Structure formats: C-alpha cells, structure tokens
Amino acid sequence: MGHDYLVPDEQAGIKKFVLFQKDNNADGKDNLDMLPGLPAVYAVGERVNGQAANLRYIGEAGNLRESIKKHFDKTHSEEDECFKEFMLSIKIKVLIYELIPSSTHEERLVIKKEWENRYKRDCNKEGWLKAVARTPYLHNNHYTIIDLFYKQLRKTPGHIAVSFQDEQITYLELNERVSKLAAYLRQEGVCGEALVPVCMYRSLEMIISIMAILKAGGAYVPIDPEYPPERIEYILSDTRAKMVLTISDCEMYLPPIPGIANLCVDRLMQQIIDEPFDDLPPIDGNGHLAYVIYTSGSTGVPKGVMIEHAAVVNRLLWAQAYFDLTDEDVVLQKTTFCFDVSVWELFWPLCAGAKLVFANPGGHKDNNYLKGVIQAECISTIHFVPSMLEVFLSDLEKGDCSNLKRVLCSGEALRPAQVALFKEKLPHVQLHNLYGPTEAAIDVTCWTVPEIGEFTTIPIGKPVANTSLYILDTNRKLVPVGVPGELYISGSQLARGYLNKPALTNDKFVNDPFTEGRKMYRTGDIARWREDGNIEYLGRNDDQVKINGYRIELGEIETVLGQMPGIHHAVVIATQETAANRKLVGYVVPKEIFDKDAIIKYLKERLPDYMVPASLVKLENIPLTSNGKVDKKALPLPDISQLTAREYAPPRNETETILATIWQELLDLERVSIHDSFFELGGNSLIIMRMLTQIRRKLFLEVPMRVLFDYTTIEDLGRYLELTQSLRHTEEEEDFSIINI
C-alpha cells in the first residue's frame, strides 16, 4: 500500500486534508471517532461525501512529511503555513495504525489508547491548539447570497421553492417576483448598503422582500411587528431608514415618522405583478452588508450587528457540505426573523434546491400545529431552541414526525437529559448541537450526537469552515486542553461590527494575535477544549443570559427600569432554574410608592415581552459586597404571596381543580388561587405550550394558544373550557340524532 494519502479532497466545495482511503466499513459505522487527535488533521466532520470511512496504515512520519511538503510547497497562505508547521512538528514514527473492519471493539480501544499516549507525549501542545482551532478553506467563496440562489435557479427553475399555507411558488416564480420588487426598490434609491427595515409576519411577502432588498444592493433589518413602539422607533432612527417594507396586516404597528415611507408589499405586488422586468446587475463583491440584526444591549438600547454576504455565504456553503441538503428536503421556517437562526432557515433551502415552508404566524408556539405541518409538508429539517425542543418532545409519541431527518439545536445549552429524551422520542432523526453568537453569522461550531451512547456533558463541537476558535486566559494566551477560558472567534463569519457604535465595536472586536490583519470577537462565553478536539461550553463571564433562546442583557432592563420616574435603583437577575422555567426577577428601590402595575406597563412600552421580568420585588436598599458591587447572592427570593391574589380562593369544580393542579406543577407553586394571573405567577409562552399539552391529556380538549393569553386566571379559563365542552357534547348529540334518523 502506498503512503501518499495526505491529499486535498475538494468535492462539495471544501478542501479536507485526508489521512485515509475511502473505504466503507462492513458494519457501516465510522471509525474516525476512535482517534481523538485526528481533528487537528481532519477538521471538517467525520464523513467523506456522506459515507463512513475506514482508516488505513499510512507509513512512517518521514514519508508523511514528504507528502505534506509536496502539497504545501504549492501553497503560500498563512493558514496552510500554520498547518504545515504543526504537522512537521510531529515526531512519532507511526501516526495511524490500521483499523480494519474485522477488528473488535476491544482492539480498537487498545489502538485508541496507544494513539492518545503517543500523541500527548510527542506533539507540541500549543501547535495542536492552534491547528485544531482552524478549519480548511471553502473554495469559491466570492459569492453573494443572491449568487447562490441564481446557481440553484438555473438547476431547478420549475421546482417548488416556497410554500405558505395554500400558496406555493416555483424558483422561477420567486425570482420573477423578487426581480420586480428589486427593480422598484432600486428606483426608490435602495442600493449601496442602504438599510431597509422589514416589519411583517411570516409570509411569501417576507422572503420576497428580503431577497429583493439584497438584489437591489441593500441590507435588510428585521423588526418584529409585536415590538413596543418605542423600540421600533429606535431601530428606525438608528438605521436612518427612508422606507419600511411591511404588509397590510402589520402596517398598524409602525409609528408614523416624518421622512419614512411605509411600503405595503402585498398591495404593491398586485400593482407590478404584470409589469415586464429585467434582472438587475449583481452587486459587486460579497463584502456588502446583507443584514443588521438588533440584539439586547447593556446600555439600555439594542445594538445592531452588521453581517456581510461573505459571512452568510460561508455558513451556507459549510452547512450544505456538512448536511448535504437535496431537492427532496423540506425546511420549516419557524424562527422569528429577528433571531439569526432564521437566516439559514430562509436561504439555505433556496441555495440547495430544497423547499422552504413558512409556519403560520404564532404556529411555532403550538405543538399540535407543528406536528401537523411536519407531517403534512413532509418536513425533513427543522430548528429548535433546546428548551422548546424539550416541550415539543414531551408531546410526541413514538412514530410521530416520521419524515424528519435532522434537527438542529442552538440558542442555549443543550442538556444530556434533552438528548436522552430526543433519542427516545425520535430515534430515527439526527440531532446536531450548534453554537454561535449573532456577531459571527449564526453558527461557528457543530457537534453531531452519536447514534449510540449516553452523555454526561454535551459539547458544542468543532469549528465550521474558515473559522478559528481560541480559548484564552485573561492575558489572551492559549490555555491548555481542559482548562477553562474565554472563547474568541476569528475568521470568515465575523461581523463587521455594531452599527453606529465604534467604541463598542473596538472593545468587542479585537486584533487576532495569531493571524496578522484579522480581528477576533470576544464572546464572553467560558469554554474549554476537550481531548477529542470538541469544545465544551461552561457559562458566561458577564450578565448576559439566555431565556427560551432569547439573548438578554440584564443591564438593558436595569437601565430602562432606572429611567422610570419614581425608581431610585434597580437590579435584574435570571433565576437559576431549569431551562424551561428560568425567569427574570426585578428588584426595585422606589423613591416613594411601589406601583407594580405601573412599572410593568412602563417596561412593556419599551421592551419586548421576553425582557419584562416575571416578578418584581420591592427593597429598601440593594445589598452590596465589601467592594461596592451588587451582592446578587444576598438578594431575597421573590415572595410568592406577593404574586398571588390577596385572598386565596380554592377550586370550585373538577375543571378548576385540574387546572390548579396543572398550574402548580408547571409553575412550581404549592397552591394557586382561581383568581391569580398566570403571567404574574411567572408564566410565559414556553410554559403555555406545556399547559396546552396537559389540558389535551387531562381534559381531552384542543385549545388554541391565544385562548390562554385571553383567559389568564383559572376562573376565566375554566369557564371557557366548560363552555367548550358543553358545545362539543351538544354537537355530538346532534350528530347522533341525525344518524338515528
């Protein structure tokens, strides 16, 4: 057998340094996981062209060095040089022992152990840390998002591109509508990175508007129609917008602002649908802005993260090479487009020939709807925040969602118990854990959950293509494997910075000491390298929290509270409960009167609902540590008696008793009055999803989610449910009478 197996595998647009021959195992399982040092060499996944691979003996280090040298003499890039330096530092004579299909599991463990010992003893550890932090190149990454769509359009013009409710359009029809709107926007001055806010619900108009903005040369800025008016006004002012794209159902949410035109896309498309069009020339280069997404900011106002086409394209090309989406796949778009996961949900299927299906507005909060649309639309690919996934899984039976192929998780830490539940309920589906801040184009790591095994910790995985991840100490020096440090991100997917915030940009995007001329982003996340080349997320080093997948700066809430007349000082914390029940608690020192209702009203006028504390606690003063900082450990727990009604009123019938039991279990309360408000007790949309499941199981009723927002006490909800049951029984009796006749 020859020794020259270190060759670039350039299929699927990715260069991989391959140390093995392509050879399927007899049992179809992958042996790559047996060698924990291998990620330093084989840095993109554990499969080649979607098939399992077998490792073969490749000779002694001398032969390998010649093979490496032959390849690297042809290249001159900095990343290649780093890789070459690392590989030539290896002193062991035999790198990989033969792993033949007939070898036993015990024999493989022996090989693995010997590899680990040699590897740890003879490799330069800092070289390993640098090499494993880097990933190979994607080729031809000069495309824009629209370029990728055009490539697919030429392949599958007649295939269904987008589906929403009862309407479907092909790739060709989508391009026609996008082109006509883009031409109109260009006439209205949209070009040269003009920021164009989009305020609408999920719909065909949403994807048409976003793609038209990009095609015209602008960048889109998503705005949730349900944001408070003050937050919408701030975003419109910060972006210096000249127009906002909306639809008729959402126009009412936009505050009238002089100089800003509200363009209703649904009405406009009816006017221009029959007009001839010429494709606009493509924008020059992928360094243009693609979008600005606003995230919570510690200064009291949100901050806009600026992402370029190149960053998104890198993420899309990596995903396509890793997951291999085809024209038989169907992707469900259910994430709010103010959350950057929506970016891959929107564009990835349209760049891969798959079908994009929009969930109904609000449908992502209804398990029954999700199960129905997954089945009806043959959804193969879907995203969940881990806490939402847990709620969804609790409502599944074995055999449900048979069309699903893959579930991608991100937004918060994935827990071992959630993985175990996933394997129990969806054993046929792949589960992938991804990680990435908004400042780095969606995701920068990925870990695929193995089919077999139990886990005590869930890693966030290895870097995606063209991405470097560093775990550094306070002096920004590499820490050894297993030692916690702050996670830094460098590479192709980094944001340009924060809109109109140069000081904050300079603070968060610092020089990369390992690659001249590049920046790296300080995530504030604490992590550590594992021996197998994966990264383990450990927590935060600041006051940023994740609740139900939403990124929240506690400082923003504290600042808004402090701006309210009548409040002297305020502190906000997130309770350390389960991911599904984590809540915000506000501690307030009032100047005079403590009016909880007025404070909540004030916050709701300025912050999204997910940032309004579930509980408010009055304090005489804020406890401080000896150095003058807030002593959060000394803050008292919320007094449940302050949240409940003044007088306890017990359940009066069977329905109220069942509801009280459900509330007590979901809200972790000893007792609940029938007059208590669900939301004042700490309820939220995630808990409502769990409540719908319990009502379905215990009362045998299907209840729309909006009902639980309208009837917020047990008394009111019980009355509604009893009326619903009565009407159902009446209808059943009438049907029975008709049958007898």
Residue found under tokens 């990369």: 512
Task: Provide the angle, in degrees to the nearest 10, between the axes of the packed helices 386-394 and 416-425.
Answer: 40
DSSP per-residue string spanning 694-719? HHHHHH-----HHHHHH--SHHHHHH
3-state secondary structure 154-179: HHCCCCEEEEECCEEEEHHHHHHHHH
CATH code where residue 591 lies: 3.30.300.30
- 612, 638, 664 - which closes a domain: 638
191: three-class secondary structure by DSSP: coil
**How many whole angstroms from its chain centre is CA 579?**
15
pLDDT (0 to 100) of residue 563: 82
Tokens read off for 502: 């140069």
Q: Are residues 634 and 660 in the same domain?
A: no
125 occurs within a structural domain: yes
**Total residues found in the chain within this entry:** 741
Identify whether residues 125 and 46 lie together within a single domain: yes
Distance CA 166, CA 176 (A): 20
- Through-space distance between the first and last CA atoms of the chain, rounded to whole angstroms: 84
- Divide the 741 residues of the chain into consecutive groups of 10 and give the mean pLDDT of each group: 29 32 33 32 31 33 43 44 40 30 47 47 50 55 88 94 95 95 92 93 96 95 92 94 93 88 92 80 83 86 94 92 91 94 96 95 84 93 90 85 94 89 92 95 93 87 90 89 90 94 95 91 91 86 76 83 85 70 83 85 86 86 73 76 67 90 86 85 80 85 81 89 76 51 52
Do 36 and 125 have their domain in common?
Answer: yes
Same domain, 592 and 703: no
The DSSP secondary-structure symbol of 450 reads P
Q: Which CATH number does the domain housing residue 722 bear?
A: 1.10.1200.10
Whether 106 is in a domain gets the answer yes
pLDDT of residue 109: 52
Residue 236, in any domain of the structure: no
Pair 672, 567 in one domain: no
Q: Has residue 453 been placed in a domain?
A: no
Q: Is 1 exposed, middle or buried (0-12, 13-18, 19+ CB in 10 A)?
A: exposed
Q: Does any domain span residue 269?
A: no
Q: Which residues contact 451 (CB under 8 A, 6 or more apart)?
A: none
Domain membership of residue 83 as a residue range: 7-132
Judge whether 666 lies within some domain.
yes
Please check whether residues 688 and 573 belong to one and the same domain: no
Q: For residue 410, give both structure tokens.
A: 């991100």
pLDDT of residue 734: 53
Give the whole-angstrom CA distance, residue 570 versus residue 638. Answer: 15
Q: Domains in the chain: how many in total?
A: 3
pLDDT of residue 7: 29
Same-domain check for residues 30 and 115: yes
Asked whether residue 27 falls in the same domain as residue 107, the answer is: yes
675-697 per-position pLDDT tens digit: 888 887 878 777 888 888 888 88
Q: Looking at the structure, tell me whether residues 633 and 659 fall in a common domain.
A: no
Statement to judge: residues 664 and 629 lie in one domain:
no
**Alpha helix segments (H runs only) across 353-487:** 367-376, 386-394, 416-425
Other Cβ atoms within 10 Å of 646 Cβ, number: 7
Residues facing 27 on adjacent strands: none
Is residue 526 a contact partner of residue 513, using CB atoms and an 8 Å limit? no
Examine residue 482 and state whether it is found in any structural domain, yes or no: no
- Residue 667: which region, alpha, beta or left (left: phi > 0; alpha: psi -120 to 50)? alpha
**Phi/psi at 189 (5° precision):** 100, 10
Please indicate, yes or no, whether residues 576 and 675 belong to a single structural domain of this protein: no
If asked whether residues 609 and 667 sit together in one domain, one would say no
**What is the bridge-based pairing of β-strands 355-358 and 330-333?**
parallel
Domain boundary among 74, 108, 132: 132
Of 207, 153, 150, the closest CA to residue 358 belongs to 207
523 contact partners, CB below 8 Å, separation of at least 6: 437, 439, 486, 487, 488, 489
Is 179 inside a domain boundary? no
